[in-house]
Chain A
């Protein structure tokens, strides 16, 4: 799988998370190669979102290790072992992980351009003018060339989500996590967002995408993972997983998506 000379973009070992008495992640292992697009599917409550949030340590996992590009996230080496990363260390480690939220979470007081530029300026320390130029380039990659000076409230949901994607890619992270990026969108706006992700994926972006858009998963994924009850039940190429799922649970889940498009072979 992984060539010996290449460190995986993401390596997750034994990730578990419990909220109160509810276990939402059970001992999840996951490896993502550089350039790979991994799509995670599963019913709501299956732990997909928590998986992404624990990887980025927006949620601190109970147990398990997360490495991004060979570097630990959530812990730091000390003589004779490891200790939990401080908030400050975590902020630095997180720079290797981009995150696109279901509800966009753009900064409402900043223009589209500054939403993308602020990370470049404040986190990467790039001068204002250069940061804005670079931000404009990243916005172009998600097909936003107009509206750069508009506030999020003046943009459609699809435009907002594309700004959010540009904000993530602008930081040039090793991997980008997409948490149901189209679930909060009106149906007619879904396509423009998926198209943007598709183009970025084709351009070599490494990503883990949680989505309910099965035909998109089929087209864009190198690998599809089916999760249920906090665990990875089955994974494989889109052809295998959608065409001939081995696990009964996977088959039952996929039967919910009975549109002709989802049934057709890719």
Chain B
């Protein structure tokens, strides 16, 4: 077994292009997922039963079905009813909705784990439920929520590789393209693993930095 170094030299810039796309998808999908996830998480804490039920059903559906099927649903099934996205946006939307369900659970759990006395103290000064959530519970829940949120976003970043099946030219797809021409699976898949590893490492350092900058309670 010898490593073909020339193919590695050729592959590095090609894979870098894929990395940029993977990063772009991750950032956009990550931001969308956080926005949707926080909204759903707060809705799950509201005192409107219908709202809580809708979120629960949504989370249940997302958790109960494979991400690959969700990607196919957005890319192949939605066009049938007239909603059409190109492959990148279909991928971003599927990833964002998938991840948002897990983030919603993290938000709900994080806020729910703030000590009961905090809610009582806020009630005792006459705060409304939404004020208690906004001014008392959520600020305290944010910092402990960073590690689980990081996990969700790391999973999501790795899951962008699934989008290769709908021809999004992200990192994995870029690697496959090289393999299909040069047939060098060993070198390329090893390189892909390294690229993803570096991406994820950067993400976890960023998360630890954010956590350390948030005020301790």
Smallest distance from the beta carbon of B170 to chain A beta carbons, Å?
39
Judging by beta carbons under 8 Å apart, are A118 and B135 in contact?
Answer: yes
User: Which one of B128, B135, B217 lies within 8 Å of A153 (CB-CB)?
Assistant: B217
Known: A108-B217, A109-B139. A119 touches B125 (CB 8 A): yes
Task: Give A87 to B136 CA distance when docked, in angstroms.
Answer: 17
List the B side residues contacting A168 at CB < 8 Å.
124-125
Pick out which of these stretches binds chain A: B100-108, B115-123, B193-201.
B115-123
Judging by beta carbons under 8 Å apart, are B124 and A88 in contact?
Answer: no
Q: Report A228-253 residues with CB < 8 Å from chain B CB.
A: none
User: Which one of B128, B129, B136 lies within 8 Å of A107 (CB-CB)?
Assistant: B136
Pick out which of these stretches binds chain B: A74-82, A92-100, A201-209, A258-266.
A92-100
Interface size class of A (residues with CB under 8 A): 20 to 34
Task: Give A168 to B127 CA distance when docked, in angstroms.
Answer: 13
Judging by beta carbons under 8 Å apart, are A122 and B117 in contact?
Answer: no
Query: Per-residue CB proximity of A118-151 to B under 8 Å, as 1/0?
Result: 1100110000000000000000000000000001
Kindly state whether residue A30 has any CB partner on chain B within 8 Å.
Answer: no
Number of contacting residues on B, CB 8 A?
Answer: 21
Kindly state whether residue A103 has any CB partner on chain B within 8 Å.
Answer: yes
Query: Per-residue CB proximity of A98-114 to B under 8 Å, as 1/0?
Result: 11010101111100000
Query: Per-residue CB proximity of A146-163 to B under 8 Å, as 1/0?
Result: 000001010000000000
List the A side residues contacting B128 at CB < 8 Å.
88, 91
Kindly state whether residue A56 has any CB partner on chain B within 8 Å.
Answer: yes
Give the secondary structure class of B's interface.
helix
User: Which one of A95, A106, A107, A108 lies within 8 Å of B126 (CB-CB)?
Assistant: A95
Judging by beta carbons under 8 Å apart, are A91 and B120 in contact?
Answer: no
Smallest distance from the beta carbon of A149 to chain B beta carbons, Å?
13
Task: Give A88 to B128 CA distance when docked, in angstroms.
Answer: 6
Known: A87-B47, A103-B117. A94 touches B139 (CB 8 A): no
Kindly state whether residue B82 has any CB partner on chain A within 8 Å.
Answer: no
Kindly state whether residue B167 has any CB partner on chain A within 8 Å.
Answer: no
Smallest distance from the beta carbon of B136 to chain A beta carbons, Å?
6
Judging by beta carbons under 8 Å apart, are A56 and B126 in contact?
Answer: no
Kindly state whether residue A167 has any CB partner on chain B within 8 Å.
Answer: yes
In the complex, the chain A residue whose C-beta lies closest to that of B217 is: A108
Task: Give A171 to B217 CA distance when docked, in angstroms.
Answer: 25
Kindly state whether residue B131 has any CB partner on chain A within 8 Å.
Answer: yes
User: Which one of A101, A109, A164 lies within 8 Å of B215 (CB-CB)?
Assistant: A109
Kindly state whether residue B140 has any CB partner on chain A within 8 Å.
Answer: yes
Task: Give A106 to B134 CA distance when docked, in angstroms.
Answer: 16
Kindly state whether residue A58 has any CB partner on chain B within 8 Å.
Answer: yes
Judging by beta carbons under 8 Å apart, are B47 and A119 in contact?
Answer: no
Judging by beta carbons under 8 Å apart, are B124 and A58 in contact?
Answer: yes
Judging by beta carbons under 8 Å apart, are A101 and B117 in contact?
Answer: yes
User: Which one of B120, B131, B139, B215 lies within 8 Å of A122 (CB-CB)?
Assistant: B131
Task: Give A122 to B129 CA distance when docked, in angstroms.
Answer: 12
Task: Give A97 to B40 CA distance when docked, in angstroms.
Answer: 34
Judging by beta carbons under 8 Å apart, are A119 and B127 in contact?
Answer: yes
List the B side residues contacting A58 at CB < 8 Å.
120, 123-124
User: Which one of A56, A101, A109 lies within 8 Å of B217 (CB-CB)?
Assistant: A109
In the complex, the chain B residue whose C-beta lies closest to that of A171 is: B125
- Listed residue (B122, B129, B140) with the most chain A CB atoms within 10 angstroms of its CB: B122
Task: Give A108 to B140 CA distance when docked, in angstroms.
Answer: 8
In the complex, the chain B residue whose C-beta lies closest to that of A116 is: B125
Task: Give A119 to B135 CA distance when docked, in angstroms.
Answer: 10
Judging by beta carbons under 8 Å apart, are B124 and A99 in contact?
Answer: yes
Judging by beta carbons under 8 Å apart, are A123 and B123 in contact?
Answer: no
Task: Give A58 to B118 CA distance when docked, in angstroms.
Answer: 12
Task: Give A77 to B128 CA distance when docked, in angstroms.
Answer: 21
List the A side residues contacting B135 at CB < 8 Å.
118, 122
List the A side residues contacting B122 at CB < 8 Å.
107
Known: A58-B123, A119-B125. A107 touches B118 (CB 8 A): yes
The 10 closest A-B pairs by CB, nearest first: A95-B126, A99-B124, A105-B121, A119-B125, A105-B117, A108-B217, A123-B126, A109-B139, A91-B128, A94-B126
Residues of B within 8 A of A (CB): 47, 115, 117-118, 120-129, 131, 135-136, 139-140, 215, 217
Given A91-B129, A119-B127, A122-B131, 18 further pairs, Cβ under 8 A: A58-B120, A88-B128, A91-B127, A97-B124, A99-B120, A101-B120, A103-B117, A106-B121, A107-B121, A108-B217, A109-B217, A119-B126, A122-B135, A123-B126, A151-B217, A164-B121, A168-B124, A171-B125
